[in-house]
């Protein structure tokens, strides 16, 4: 699959005004999604959902603002300094394009791993019975939940009864590893 990506030939050339408009529109969309969060974060205010993206996964908000044309697209340009900040961008005359042949080896191995994982996932039988129970298993029978900056909206006894009333069918290791000790043996799948 990765070899196919590296062999992609340029399919279209986008005029400078068009791709700059796409780039600005992308940046505005990202700013609309992130600016309030970043302002709150500067005041040390927590937002569990957004913090999950930027702390647990360590994504950088600035990286979301970076627009890329993707592979197989030429960008016409007249001013080199106006080109998008993409490390794999190659300039050839008055066009620039993302060149997968200059991806660093480390990035290629990561891409291969991701593609392999996606292919394996596609070939695996899906499991749709989780229903988000992993979220409750992470706070099951504990006095010290990981994200305790927000109060629980359910008392501990009702929460425990709820978890015990349904099967835990979590196959996601990154979620399972945060199950409380009493919840781990309740999961149908043994993950390590």
Asked if 100 and 137 sit in the same domain, the reply is no
Q: What percent of the chain has pLDDT over 70?
A: 95
Predicted local distance difference test score (pLDDT) of residue 43:
97
Longest dimension (CA), the chain: 68
First to last CA, the chain: 29
Residue 158 in this model has a pLDDT that exceeds 90: yes
The number of helices, as runs of H, and strands, as runs of E, in the chain is 8, 4
Indicate whether 140 belongs to any domain.
yes
Q: Quickly state the pLDDT bin for 3 (edges 50, 70, 90).
A: low
In a domain, 97, yes or no: yes
Indicate whether 7 pLDDT > 70.
no
Per-residue confidence (pLDDT) for residue 140, from 0 to 100? 95
Decide which of 88 and 22 is more confident.
22
Q: What integer pLDDT is reported at residue 72 of this predicted model? A: 87
Question: Cα separation of 26 and 68, whole Å?
Answer: 10
Distance CA(160)–CA(157), nearest Å, equals 5
Distance between CA atoms of residues 141 and 52, nearest Å: 22
Looking at the fold, whether 97 and 173 belong to one and the same domain comes out as no
Residues 11 and 82 in one domain: yes
Residue 32 confidence (pLDDT): 97
Flag whether 152 is in a domain.
yes
Segments forming the whole domain that contains residue 68: 2-105
Kindly state the tokens that stand for 58: 């360590």
Cα–chain center distance at 174: 13
Write out pLDDT tens, residues 39-68. Answer: 999 999 988 889 888 888 878 999 999 999
Same domain for 42 and 81, yes or no, is yes
64 and 152 share one domain: no
Do 16 and 78 belong to one domain?
Answer: yes
Q: How many domains does the chain have?
A: 2
pLDDT at res. 156: 92
Shared-domain flag, residues 176 and 86? no
Other CB atoms within a 10 A radius of the CB of residue 60 amount to 9
What's residue 148's pLDDT? 76
Q: Is residue 54 in some structural domain?
A: yes
Contact 83, 77 (CB under 8 A): yes
Average pLDDT, the chain: 88
15 and 93 share one domain? yes
Phi, psi of 14 (to 5 degrees): -100, 130
- Give the residue-averaged pLDDT of 81-102: 91
Asked whether residue 13 falls in the same domain as residue 84, the answer is: yes
Residue 6: pLDDT over 80:
no
pLDDT, tens digit, for every residue of 101-149?
Answer: 888 888 888 888 888 989 988 898 877 778 889 999 999 999 888 777 7
Determine the pLDDT at residue 8: 63
Query: What's the confidence (pLDDT) of residue 149?
Result: 76
- Does 160 reside within a domain? yes
Residue 121 in domain: no
Looking at the structure, do residues 67 and 161 belong to the same domain, yes or no? no
Both 14 and 90 in a single domain? yes
Residue 168 shares a structural domain with residue 78: no
Is 53 a domain residue? yes
Answer yes or no: is pLDDT of 1 > 80: no
CA atoms within 13 A on the CB side of 155: 2
Last residue of a domain, one of 65, 85, 105: 105
Rounded distance between C-alpha atoms, residue 12 and residue 23, angstroms: 17
Whole-structure pTM value: 0.67
Give residue for tokens 């835990």: 168
124/117 Cα distance (integer angstroms): 10
Give a yes or no: residue 19 inside a domain: yes
């Amino acid at each position: 699959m990765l070899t196919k990506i590296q062999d992609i030939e340029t399919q279209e050339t986008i005029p400078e005004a068009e791709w700059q408009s796409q780039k600005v529109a992308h940046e505005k969309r990202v700013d609309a999604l992130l600016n309030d969060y970043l302002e709150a974060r500067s005041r040390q205010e927590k937002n569990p959902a957004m913090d999950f993206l930027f702390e647990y996964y360590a994504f950088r908000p600035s990286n979301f603002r970076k627009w890329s044309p993707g592979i197989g697209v030429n960008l016409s340009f007249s001013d080199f300094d106006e080109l998008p900040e993409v490390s794999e961008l190659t300039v050839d005359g008055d066009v620039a394009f993302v060149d997968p042949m200059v991806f660093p080896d480390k990035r290629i191995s990561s891409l291969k791993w991701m593609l392999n994982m996606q292919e394996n996932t596609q070939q695996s039988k899906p499991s749709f019975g989780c229903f988000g129970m992993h979220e409750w298993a992470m706070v099951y029978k504990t006095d010290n939940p990981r994200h305790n900056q927000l109060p629980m909206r359910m008392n501990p006894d009702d929460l425990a009864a709820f978890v015990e009333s349904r099967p835990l069918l979590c196959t996601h290791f990154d979620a399972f590893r945060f199950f409380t000790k009493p919840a781990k043996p309740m999961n149908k799948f043994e993950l390590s």
